Protein backbone atom coordinates (compact mmCIF):
# COMPACT_ATOMS: atom_id res chain seq x y z
CA UNK A 1 0.00 0.00 0.00
CA UNK A 2 2.92 2.34 -0.68
CA UNK A 3 1.82 4.14 -3.81
CA UNK A 4 -1.13 6.43 -3.29
CA UNK A 5 -2.03 5.35 0.27
CA UNK A 6 -2.93 8.06 2.73
CA UNK A 7 -0.01 8.81 5.00
CA UNK A 8 2.47 6.70 3.08
CA UNK A 9 4.18 9.73 1.57
CA UNK A 10 6.26 9.58 -1.54
CA UNK A 11 9.19 7.42 -2.47
CA UNK A 12 12.14 7.26 -0.13
CA UNK A 13 15.36 7.96 -2.04
CA UNK A 14 18.97 7.62 -0.92
CA UNK A 15 21.55 10.16 -1.94
CA UNK A 16 25.22 9.34 -1.54
CA UNK A 17 27.42 12.10 -0.21
CA UNK A 18 31.13 12.50 -0.82
CA UNK A 19 32.97 10.14 1.51
CA UNK A 20 34.16 11.87 4.66
CA UNK A 21 37.75 11.76 5.82
CA UNK A 22 36.68 9.24 8.46
CA UNK A 23 35.06 6.97 5.88
CA UNK A 24 38.23 7.03 3.78
CA UNK A 25 40.11 5.64 6.76
CA UNK A 26 37.43 3.26 8.02
CA UNK A 27 36.04 2.09 4.69
CA UNK A 28 32.46 2.70 5.85
CA UNK A 29 31.29 4.91 3.02
CA UNK A 30 27.79 3.38 3.19
CA UNK A 31 27.33 4.77 6.69
CA UNK A 32 27.75 8.23 5.19
CA UNK A 33 24.69 7.85 2.95
CA UNK A 34 21.72 10.02 3.76
CA UNK A 35 18.33 8.35 3.83
CA UNK A 36 15.77 10.90 2.73
CA UNK A 37 12.22 11.42 1.62
CA UNK A 38 11.75 13.24 -1.66
CA UNK A 39 10.61 16.31 0.22
CA UNK A 40 10.07 17.59 3.74
CA UNK A 41 6.28 17.49 3.48
CA UNK A 42 6.39 13.73 2.78
CA UNK A 43 8.55 13.18 5.86
CA UNK A 44 6.16 15.18 8.05
CA UNK A 45 3.13 13.31 6.73
CA UNK A 46 4.59 9.86 7.44
CA UNK A 47 6.22 10.82 10.76
CA UNK A 48 3.09 12.56 12.06
CA UNK A 49 1.00 9.53 11.14
CA UNK A 50 3.41 7.27 13.07
CA UNK A 51 3.31 9.47 16.19
CA UNK A 52 -0.49 9.74 16.05
CA UNK A 53 -0.82 5.96 15.56
CA UNK A 54 1.31 5.38 18.65
CA UNK A 55 -0.70 7.93 20.63
CA UNK A 56 -4.04 6.37 19.65
CA UNK A 57 -2.94 2.77 20.30
CA UNK A 58 -1.32 3.50 23.67
CA UNK A 59 -4.23 5.67 24.87
CA UNK A 60 -6.70 2.93 23.93
CA UNK A 61 -4.59 0.25 25.61
CA UNK A 62 -4.25 2.12 28.87
CA UNK A 63 -7.88 3.29 28.94
CA UNK A 64 -8.95 -0.36 28.65
CA UNK A 65 -6.54 -1.52 31.36
CA UNK A 66 -6.67 1.25 33.94
CA UNK A 67 -9.91 2.29 35.59
CA UNK A 68 -9.55 5.97 36.53
CA UNK A 69 -11.49 5.35 39.74
CA UNK A 70 -9.13 2.56 40.83
CA UNK A 71 -5.87 4.27 39.87
CA UNK A 72 -4.23 7.25 41.52
CA UNK A 73 -3.75 10.01 38.90
CA UNK A 74 -0.02 10.05 39.63
CA UNK A 75 0.18 6.37 38.58
CA UNK A 76 -1.95 6.68 35.43
CA UNK A 77 0.08 6.45 32.17
CA UNK A 78 -0.33 9.47 29.93
CA UNK A 79 0.49 10.07 26.28
CA UNK A 80 0.59 13.37 24.41
CA UNK A 81 1.66 14.55 20.96
CA UNK A 82 2.45 18.21 20.36
CA UNK A 83 4.65 19.93 17.78
CA UNK A 84 6.15 16.70 16.48
CA UNK A 85 7.01 15.35 19.94
CA UNK A 86 5.30 12.36 21.55
CA UNK A 87 5.68 12.18 25.32
CA UNK A 88 4.69 8.98 27.06
CA UNK A 89 4.72 9.10 30.84
CA UNK A 90 4.47 5.66 32.45
CA UNK A 91 4.78 6.11 36.22
CA UNK A 92 6.72 4.95 38.11
CA UNK A 93 8.91 3.76 35.21
CA UNK A 94 9.69 7.12 33.65
CA UNK A 95 9.03 9.11 30.51
CA UNK A 96 9.59 8.10 26.89
CA UNK A 97 10.09 10.82 24.28
CA UNK A 98 9.79 10.30 20.53
CA UNK A 99 10.41 13.32 18.35
CA UNK A 100 10.73 14.15 14.69
CA UNK A 101 14.17 15.17 13.53
CA UNK A 102 13.39 16.94 10.29
CA UNK A 103 16.97 17.59 9.08
CA UNK A 104 17.77 13.85 9.34
CA UNK A 105 14.28 12.66 8.33
CA UNK A 106 14.27 10.43 11.41
CA UNK A 107 12.28 9.82 14.58
CA UNK A 108 14.46 9.94 17.66
CA UNK A 109 13.59 7.80 20.67
CA UNK A 110 14.55 8.28 24.28
CA UNK A 111 13.62 5.56 26.77
CA UNK A 112 14.49 5.19 30.45
CA UNK A 113 14.90 1.45 29.73
CA UNK A 114 16.79 1.23 26.44
CA UNK A 115 18.23 4.74 26.08
CA UNK A 116 18.45 6.82 22.92
CA UNK A 117 17.83 5.46 19.43
CA UNK A 118 17.20 6.79 15.96
CA UNK A 119 14.66 5.35 13.53
CA UNK A 120 14.32 5.99 9.83
CA UNK A 121 11.49 5.13 7.48
CA UNK A 122 11.86 2.21 5.09
CA UNK A 123 9.37 2.74 2.27
CA UNK A 124 9.72 -0.84 1.02
CA UNK A 125 8.73 -2.32 4.40
CA UNK A 126 6.57 0.68 5.39
CA UNK A 127 8.09 0.71 8.89
CA UNK A 128 10.43 2.87 10.94
CA UNK A 129 13.68 0.90 11.29
CA UNK A 130 16.41 1.31 13.91
CA UNK A 131 19.32 3.04 12.13
CA UNK A 132 21.92 0.66 13.61
CA UNK A 133 19.94 -2.25 12.21
CA UNK A 134 19.80 -0.55 8.78
CA UNK A 135 23.56 0.06 8.83
CA UNK A 136 24.28 -3.52 9.93
CA UNK A 137 21.96 -4.91 7.26
CA UNK A 138 23.69 -2.85 4.56
CA UNK A 139 27.15 -3.85 5.82
CA UNK A 140 26.15 -7.53 5.81
CA UNK A 141 24.76 -7.18 2.29
CA UNK A 142 27.98 -5.48 1.13
CA UNK A 143 30.03 -8.27 2.71
CA UNK A 144 27.80 -10.97 1.24
CA UNK A 145 26.82 -12.30 4.67
CA UNK A 146 23.53 -12.79 6.48
CA UNK A 147 22.41 -10.65 9.40
CA UNK A 148 20.75 -12.57 12.22
CA UNK A 149 18.35 -9.72 13.01
CA UNK A 150 16.40 -11.63 15.65
CA UNK A 151 19.46 -12.28 17.81
CA UNK A 152 21.10 -8.89 17.36
CA UNK A 153 18.16 -6.50 17.20
CA UNK A 154 15.03 -8.43 18.19
CA UNK A 155 12.11 -6.17 18.98
CA UNK A 156 14.18 -2.99 18.63
CA UNK A 157 14.41 -3.48 14.84
CA UNK A 158 11.25 -1.40 14.36
CA UNK A 159 9.93 1.59 16.29
CA UNK A 160 6.61 -0.14 16.94
CA UNK A 161 8.30 -3.34 18.05
CA UNK A 162 10.56 -1.51 20.49
CA UNK A 163 7.72 0.35 22.18
CA UNK A 164 5.46 -2.72 22.26
CA UNK A 165 8.25 -4.78 23.86
CA UNK A 166 8.87 -2.20 26.58
CA UNK A 167 5.15 -1.88 27.40
CA UNK A 168 4.94 -5.69 27.54
CA UNK A 169 7.93 -5.81 29.91
CA UNK A 170 6.52 -3.13 32.22
CA UNK A 171 2.81 -3.93 32.24
CA UNK A 172 2.42 -7.38 30.69
CA UNK A 173 0.16 -5.83 28.06
CA UNK A 174 0.21 -6.42 24.31
CA UNK A 175 -0.11 -3.50 21.92
CA UNK A 176 0.00 -3.91 18.14
CA UNK A 177 2.19 -1.19 16.66
CA UNK A 178 3.00 -2.17 13.09
CA UNK A 179 5.27 0.76 12.27
Break the chain down into helix, strand, coil percent, rounded to 5.
40, 25, 35
pLDDT number for residue 71 = 61
Residue 76 pLDDT level (bands cut at 50, 70, 90): confident
pLDDT reading at 145 higher than 60: yes
Going by their DSSP bridges, the two strands 127-130 and 94-101 should be labelled as: unpaired
| Per-residue pLDDT tens over the stretch 86-120 | 999 999 999 999 999 999 999 999 999 999 999 99
Whole-angstrom Cα distance, residue 16 to residue 158?
A: 24
> Once rounded to an integer, what is the mean pLDDT over residues 62-87?
83
pLDDT number for residue 153 = 84
140, 134, 93: which is closest to 117 by C-alpha? 134
pLDDT number for residue 154 = 85
| Per-residue pLDDT tens over the stretch 14-42 | 333 333 332 333 333 333 334 568 899 99
End-to-end CA distance of the chain: 13
pLDDT number for residue 72 = 66
124, 108, 106, 104: which is closest to 116 by C-alpha? 108
Amino acid sequence: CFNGCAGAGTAHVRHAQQPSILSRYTGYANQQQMRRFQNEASFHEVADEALETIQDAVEELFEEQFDAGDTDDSEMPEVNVASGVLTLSMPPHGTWVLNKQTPNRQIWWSSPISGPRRYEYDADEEVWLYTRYVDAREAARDEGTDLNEDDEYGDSRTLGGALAAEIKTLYGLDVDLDL
